[in-house]
Amino acid sequence: MHVVNAAHTVTETERALFRDPGETGICFLPGRGEGTHVGYKDLLPLVRGAAAGLRARGLRPGDRFVWVATSDLHAVCAFLGGLILGAVPIPVAPPRGISGPGAWQAHVEAVRLALHPKALVGVETWLELAEDSPLPRVVVEQLPSDGPPVDGDPSTWEHVQLTSGSTAAPKGVRVPFSNVRANAYQIGWGSDVRKGDVVVSWLPLYHDMGLVGTLLFAIYWNLDLVLMSPLTFLRRPRRWLEAISDHKGSLSPAPSFAYGYVARRVPAAKLAGLELGSWRVAYCGAEPVHPPALRGFAAHLAPAGFPASSLLPCYGLAEATLAVTFTPHQRGLAAHTLSRAALAEGHVRDPQDAPDALEVALLGPPLPQTEVQLRDPVDGVTPTSPREVGEIWLKGPQLTPGYLDDAAADALTHQDGWLRTGDLGSWIEGELAVLGRTKELIIVRGRNHAPIDLEWAAGEVEGLDASACCAFAATDPDGQEAAVVACEVPKDHPDPDALPERVAQAVRRATGIDLLAVVLLPPRAIPRTTSGKLQRGKVRERYLNGTLTC
């Protein structure tokens, strides 16, 4: 018999994903025009169909598959269908024009060799580009639109989040569904989630903030989700604001850069007709939070009704599923000014004067059931005293079990039930402040400098932007470690010739060290990850091999 009303026949297994499938669901918003709303009750048969289709193509529980993460109905159903089948989706970014199809094919091949998936699953358009891959291809548009109810063991479900590894050597974090549920619950708690909330997202589904923070979060809490492609946002950022305005969106996250991007790309004159008063939580995470960018965003969008109290900076990482600390709901941005000179020696102190002042965002206390410890970055054991900088260690129900097929990485990061994050931080006013990363430390004359200190100093030079400056360690002619700053210079800068000296002065003022070199670059020349993080290692590599030039 054909299933007449899926909601009445939902299996226990399926309820682990869709608690109470009804009209609430996902609105798939295209680049132009109206969206298509699919209630979770109508999504369920499609997810069953996808599960049956993947099974018919030979995928079994525990088998991994590469999932080309696009934000359309068919691709989303394939991800969910694979998940409830017990197969393990490995989301990868779709091809992007900037690097061309060749680079994408190479990335898929690198994932195949490193992580041993059994199939490549995605929309036809992108699979056509992967014809040379030895992986069997499954076109999501061709998966059945219904299938038998699914029975299985949700405690075995998991997906993989590709993380810090390079393009050539992908590294994947195993994310069991139990971690997803735990973190979705915590995020809901931190967001004061309520019935009728509407999630709006353009975040890529190959990124944890998009996949866990919006898609799986909305499904977990049975909320409406308005989903658009990241390309739509990048091309037409006003679409994000329109989606929030049109759908009365209340929960919508973005990385720090996106807030600055909107303020730059959507001029005040284009805000007419937007009503953003419903936007209750504007999460800001995934990269260091730059207080001036968030303040600028709130001021720019205030005429459209955006409440500054909605800004919610947070801290997290893929190894902890997504979220670790949250600023209090409806508090808004809180920042603290500290001494750069003291910070370089691992202390949190008040600044001595204006040039010594560094403003950092406070990222809130740990989410419920989450423990955060600060420990000596070298020995990894000694607790850090108050007002000192330590390495962030954490523990909680969102802590993932480790990396896929990478015991060496596990041994470095997972110790006695704790995760060693590689991030540096301190407690300020009872909240976590992230103050750099151990791996990117620049050590000059025995003093530690987080690159971001130098970058923010350089960003204070007139006409430069801290998020477009990159600091890294190099070696001076005497063989001593020294710092280099590379800066992107806007096209209309009135006096670029004077910049190297000004940057050197600003850094010298802020940190007390002399730069080995200042490299001036055209706009957008600094490589960034797909989520917008500076790739300091890559910049350093190019500098060292002489290819970092204008």
Partner 1 sequence: MANHRETLLGIVTELTGRDPQALEGLMQEPLADVGLDSIRQQELLAQLEDEYDVEISPEDAVHLDSLAAIERFIRGAQ
List residues binding partner 1 (CB under 8 A): 31-32, 94-101, 104, 125-126, 129, 229, 231, 234-236, 261, 265, 489-492, 522-525, 527-528, 530
Residues whose CB is less than 8 angstroms from the CB of residue 385 and which lie 6 or more positions away in sequence, other chains included: none
Closest approach of partner 1 to the CB of residue 78, in Å: 18
Nearer to partner 1, 236 or 248 (CB): 236
C-beta closer to partner 1: residue 37 or 528: 528
Long-range (24+ apart) CB contacts under 8 A made by 471-477 are: 471/442, 471/536, 472/440, 472/442, 472/536, 472/537, 472/539, 472/540, 472/543, 473/441, 473/442, 473/443, 473/540, 474/516, 474/517, 474/540, 474/543, 474/544, 476/516
State in angstroms the smallest separation of the CB of 194 from partner 1. 34
Q: Minimum distance between the CB of residue 446 and partner 1, rounded to whole angstroms?
A: 36
Structure tokens at 402: 């480790």
Q: Which residue, 96 or 116, has its beta carbon nearer to partner 1?
A: 96
Least Cβ distance, residue 421 to partner 1 (angstroms): 27
CB burial of 397-406 (b: ≥16 within 10 Å; e: otherwise) equals bbbbebbbeb
Q: What is the dihedral of CA 231, 237, 241, 244, to 10 degrees?
A: 0
Q: Are the C-beta atoms of residues 172 and 403 closer than 8 Å to each other?
A: yes
Q: How far is the CB of 505 from partner 1 (least distance, A)?
A: 24
To the nearest whole angstrom, how small is the minimum distance from the Cβ of residue 124 to partner 1?
A: 9
Read off φ and ψ for residue 362, nearest 5 degrees: -90, 135
CB of 499 to partner 1, least distance (A): 14
The least CB distance from residue 517 to partner 1, in Å, is 21
- Nearest residue (CB) to partner 1, 431 versus 455: 455
Nearest CB to partner 1, comparing residues 236 and 508: 236
CA atoms of 465 and 467, how far apart (whole Å): 5
CB 206 within 8 A of CB 170: no
Q: What tokens appear for 444 in the block?
A: 């000059």
**All residues at 6 or more sequence positions from 153 whose CB lies less than 8 Å from its CB, including other chains:** 13, 61, 86
Distance CA 515, CA 535 (A): 20
What DSSP element (H or E) covers 28? strand 25-29
Which residue, 10 or 76, has its beta carbon nearer to partner 1?
76
33 exposed, middle or buried (CB, 10 Å; 0-12, 13-18, 19+)? exposed
Element (H, E) at 519: strand 515-521
Strands (E) located in 123-247: 137-139, 158-162, 172-176, 198-201, 224-228
Between 125 and 369, whose beta carbon lies closer to partner 1? 125
Closest to partner 1 by CB, 101 vs 380, is 101
Please state, in angstroms and rounded to a whole number, the distance separating the CA atoms of residues 484 and 476: 10
Nearer to partner 1, 397 or 537 (CB): 537
Distance of closest approach, residue 352 Cβ to partner 1, in angstroms: 37
At closest approach, how far in Å is the CB of 229 from partner 1?
Answer: 8
CA dist., res. 123 & res. 141, Å (int): 6
Residue with tokens 């024009």: 97
When the beta carbons of 9 and 99 are compared against partner 1, the nearer one is: 99
